[in-house]
């Protein structure tokens, strides 16, 4: 059995991952978990896990300063991240793996299989090298690349109010009453955005949850955003949306 510790900023994610491990990853033994970065160092030192499932970003910052305090990093790491665009290249250079949020059984099993293979071959990732590569990527995480007809625009995520599908293109509505038409489908835009902040409310709309002013009841309901625009919510996505909005308001 592989001694495993789960570290994530959301207790519900820890519970979800632990349940998936219990049902689908019998080779792992979850010996501890925490959602508090201040507990990470003593937890690792005391429990001596062979595998960490480790969230990268916490409200107080990234997990890297904590890991850097460890005198030895003789374990496998499966990083958990919401930023595929910025992490993928860094992970391609290393043997460690990562899971893009939201965590699913398929993603977890695939990452665990790779980590198990590395443990069996004693092929440990250079965690320090990986952290440096990831930090370089995450320093840029506030901007996303958007291809336009005459180049690539780098736009602050926080300035995006909503995104609307327009055939093979997408219209990006920004603060300050600005909008951009980019040569990327809405599905492609969705892959670039932080899934913690942005929500696909409808087949043709993605909204910035931080800029939701009001939710209006209805079959699926309607979101009123800070710029006064309104976006219909698909009835199939209503429950998920309300859970996100209510949990966000309680944080």
Between 30-39, 72-81, 171-180, the lowest mean confidence (pLDDT) is in 72-81
CA distance 84 to 134: 11
Cα–Cα distance, 167 to 187 (Å, whole number) = 11
Q: Are residues 35 and 96 in the same domain?
A: yes
The predicted structure's pLDDT at residue 67:
80
Q: Read off the pTM.
A: 0.55
Kind and range of the H or E element at 47?
helix 40-47
Residues 32 and 90 in one domain: yes
pLDDT bracket for residue 93 (50, 70, 90): very low
Do 149 and 47 lie in one domain? The reply is no
Last residue of a domain, one of 138, 155, 174: 138
Query: Are 112 and 19 in a shared domain?
Result: yes
Please indicate whether residue 191 or residue 218 has the higher confidence score (pLDDT): 218
Q: What is the pLDDT of residues 26-47, one digit of tens each?
A: 999 999 999 998 999 999 999 9
The mean pLDDT of 210-222, rounded to a whole number, is 93
What is the predicted pLDDT for the residue at 121? 73
Same structural domain, 6 and 120: yes
> Quick one: average pLDDT of 106-114?
92
* Confidence label for 95 from pLDDT (cuts 50, 70 and 90): very low
What is the pLDDT averaged over residues 69-77? 81
Q: What is the CATH number of the domain that holds 210?
A: 2.40.50.1020
Q: Are residues 112 and 169 in the same domain?
A: no
* Cβ partners under 8 Å of residue 207, min gap 6: 161, 162, 198, 199, 201, 223, 225, 231
What CA–CA distances, in Å, run from 181 to 40, 52, 209? 44, 41, 21
Do 18 and 98 lie in one domain? The reply is yes
Q: What integer best gives the mean pLDDT of the chain? A: 83
Where does a domain end: 105, 120, 138? 138
Q: Which residues form the domain of 10?
A: 2-138
pLDDT on residue 89: 47
CATH code of residue 6: 3.40.50.2300
> Considering 103, 138, 173, which residue would you say is the last residue of a domain?
138
Q: Are residues 104 and 228 in the same domain?
A: no
Domain count, the chain: 2
Residue 87 has pLDDT above 60, yes or no: no
Q: Are residues 115 and 217 in the same domain?
A: no
24 and 94 share one domain: yes
Give the pLDDT confidence of 114-137 residue by residue, as tens digits.
888 888 776 555 566 566 656 555
């Amino acid at each position: 059995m592989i001694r495993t510790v789960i570290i994530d900023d959301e207790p519900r994610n820890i519970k979800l991952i632990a349940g998936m491990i219990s049902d689908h990853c019998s080779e792992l033994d979850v010996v501890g978990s925490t959602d508090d970065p201040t507990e990470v160092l003593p937890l690792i030192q005391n429990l001596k896990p062979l595998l960490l499932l480790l969230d990268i970003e916490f409200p107080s910052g990234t997990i890297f300063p904590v890991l850097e305090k460890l005198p030895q990093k003789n374990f496998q790491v499966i990083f958990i991240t919401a930023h595929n665009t910025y992490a993928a290249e860094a992970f391609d250079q290393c043997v460690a793996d990562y899971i893009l949020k939201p965590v699913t059984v398929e993603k977890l099993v695939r990452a665990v299989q790779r980590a198990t293979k590395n443990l069996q071959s004693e092929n440990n990732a250079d965690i320090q090298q990986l952290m440096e590569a990831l930090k370089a990527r995450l320093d840029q995480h506030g901007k996303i690349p958007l291809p336009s007809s005459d180049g690539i625009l780098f736009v602050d995520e926080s300035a995006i109010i909503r995104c609307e599908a327009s055939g093979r293109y997408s219209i990006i509505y920004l603060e300050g009453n600005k909008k951009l038409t980019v040569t990327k489908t809405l599905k492609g835009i969705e892959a670039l955005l932080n899934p913690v902040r942005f929500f696909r409310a409808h087949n043709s709309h993605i909204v910035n949850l931080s800029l939701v002013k009001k939710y209006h009841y209805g079959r699926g309901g309607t979101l009123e955003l800070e710029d006064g625009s309104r976006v219909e919510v698909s009835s199939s996505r209503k429950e998920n949306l309300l859970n996100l909005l209510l949990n966000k308001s309680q944080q």
